[in-house]
Amino acid sequence: MLYRLLCTTLLIAACGTALGATPSSLAPELEAALARAKIPRDALALLVLEAESNNAPARLSHRAQVAMNPASVMKLSTTFAALELLGPAYVWTTPVYVDGPVQGGTLKGNVYIKGQGDPKLVLERLWLLLRRLQGLGIRSIAGDIVLDRSAFEVPDADPASFDGEPLRPYNAAPDALLVNYKAVVMTFTPDRAANTAQVQFDPPLFGVQMQASVPLSNAECGDYRGALKADFSDTNRIHFGGSFAASCGEKVWPVAYADPRSYATRAVQGMWLDMGGKLSGSARYGAVPAALAAGKPTLEATSAPLAEIIRDINKYSNNVMAQQLFLTLGRVVPTGSGETPPTDAGLIAGSFSASRGVMQRWWKERLGSEDMPVWENGSGLSRQERISARGLARLLQLAWRSPSMPELMSSLPISGVDGTLRRFKSGSVGSAHLKTGSLSNVLARAGFVDGASGKRYVLVALINHANANTEAGRAVMETLVDWTVRDN
């Protein structure tokens, strides 16, 4: 540990001059792009420097020391810290306990499912878990299916509180038993013979009436969601008052369920019944009895490893998955040491405050007290989170020299190729691995760019301004990437 701290101190001293360098002007094409976007220079913070060299001066630096709202590029700190503290092979488990004997296909007791923060317990994996339960000979449950959410201490949140968009899946709140991101996925398939579009709902939510079809129209596809005139206000009913254009072909529309707190119980009970299972009681929330929790679970579901999970978090900027990971750090790394791979047994409940403490200790150990970020939930879906371009650049340079570099790099969107950069409008297709960030009044990019000379650069750019997310604002970022590539 002393050796690591000494190395970190020497690293900071060595690269301080380069990171702090401030060329007197921005590149002319970048100045022009800012002018077209009507974004003032003092709304921008950026830093471009070599990834591999601590001593080379920055190629471009502007307000790099100023803390800014980073939007989703804050996920870089959460995912890289997790790779270091948990390890790329870390997995989440969801244990299942069966309390009672099985007689003639009927369980004389309850089933307990304990959530432990799995960020990707999607429908396919929930189906497999329930199928394995049936594989034990259980076709009917005489008691209840009890869902234990106690691994996280997260207060219930209003999904409309951030931006007034409660039905947007990106506003889903974290949960120790997060099922399918609390979303209902609706698939509309035109049936011209019947002159209707069939509607499939996944998962089938127990107690919710779901309209099986809508009339077809001959209109242009356009805003098909608006044309459906969907009504999600009644938590017991999903209704469409409009029609679906046949020209749209098949469409998939995910929405956040209007009553997120009841989502998991409705989804689990609905899927169990849909699979042919019977249930005398109901799916409800509760705790696994201490005597059961002390023993070995009857079965358990295991997530994909962390190295795969962070690809979804960074490639597609999944907010709730990032928050699940952030809370996991507070739960399984209470000391912040990260020296021994943790397990899920007998741990404290995860909370945002505990996770902030872990992140602060980790940053201080690896990067010192300078440029300490402000974390709220670790996802960037926040108006409170702050980090400087210099802090992000230092983190990325540290990541470049880390054994975890390949995992982090492969999780980032590739310019013009995939993830949130798939529609990147630039001549530099494939030359950059960049995390994107976007909120109202915030636009950000941070990651690695390959120059034409063969050098690799760390690039960080943060814009906090009302025009950030205009087409011209996004062109500022594309201009900066193109400029970085042209280094020969």
User: CA 55 from chain center: how many Å?
Assistant: 34
Phi, psi of 131 (to 5 degrees): -65, -40
Half-sphere exposure of 19 (CA within 13 A, CB side): 26
pLDDT of residue 65: 97
Minimum mean pLDDT range among 165-169, 248-252, 333-337, 356-360: 333-337
Judged against a pLDDT cut of 60, whether residue 6 lies above it is answered with no
Judged against a pLDDT cut of 80, whether residue 184 lies above it is answered with yes
Q: Which of 182, 183, 177, 166 is nearest to 350 (CA)?
A: 177
pLDDT of residue 155: 83
Judged against a pLDDT cut of 50, whether residue 180 lies above it is answered with yes
Rounded CA-CA distance 313/436 in Å is: 11
**Which residues, other chains included, contact 168 with Cβ-Cβ below 8 Å and sequence gap of 6+?**
159, 256
pLDDT of residue 53: 75
Joined together, the tokens standing for residue 353 give: 């405050």
Kindly list the structural domains of the chain, giving each domain's residue range(s) and its CATH number in brackets, ordered by start.
2-89+306-485 (3.40.710.10), 92-303 (3.50.80.20)
Could you tell me how many helices (H) and strands (E) the chain has, helices first? 13, 24
pLDDT of residue 393: 97
Q: How many CB atoms within 10 Å of residue 333? A: 25
Judged against a pLDDT cut of 70, whether residue 237 lies above it is answered with yes
Q: Which residues on neighbouring strands pair with residue 252, listed in sequence order? A: 187
Rounded CA-CA distance 451/478 in Å is: 14
Rounded CA-CA distance 485/83 in Å is: 28
The angle, 0 to 180 degrees and rounded to 10, between the axes of the packed helices 2-20 and 389-400 is 130
Would you say 97 and 374 are in contact if contact means Cβ atoms under 8 Å apart? no
Rounded CA-CA distance 223/242 in Å is: 12
pLDDT of residue 21: 43
pLDDT of residue 181: 96
pLDDT of residue 335: 59
Judged against a pLDDT cut of 80, whether residue 230 lies above it is answered with yes
Q: Which residues on neighbouring strands pair with residue 103, listed in sequence order? A: 106
pLDDT tens for each residue of 334-381? 654 444 444 554 578 999 999 999 999 999 999 999 999 999 999 999
Kindly state the average pLDDT of the residues 64-70: 98
Rounded CA-CA distance 47/253 in Å is: 39
Could you identify the residue written with the tokens 């201009």?
479
pLDDT of residue 334: 66
Judged against a pLDDT cut of 80, whether residue 313 lies above it is answered with yes
Judged against a pLDDT cut of 60, whether residue 194 lies above it is answered with yes
Could you identify the residue written with the tokens 């509607």?
199
Label residue 462 by pLDDT band (50, 70, 90): very high
The angle, 0 to 180 degrees and rounded to 10, between the axes of the packed helices 123-134 and 260-274 is 50
Say if residue 18 is exposed, middle or buried (CB neighbours under 10 Å; 0-12, 13-18, 19+).
buried
Phi, psi of 90 (to 5 degrees): -60, 140
Would you say 469 and 454 are in contact if contact means Cβ atoms under 8 Å apart? no
pLDDT tens for each residue of 411-434? 999 999 999 999 887 778 999 999
pLDDT of residue 19: 56
Task: Encode burial over 343-353: b for 16+ CB neighbours within 10 A, e otherwise.
Answer: ebeebeebbbe
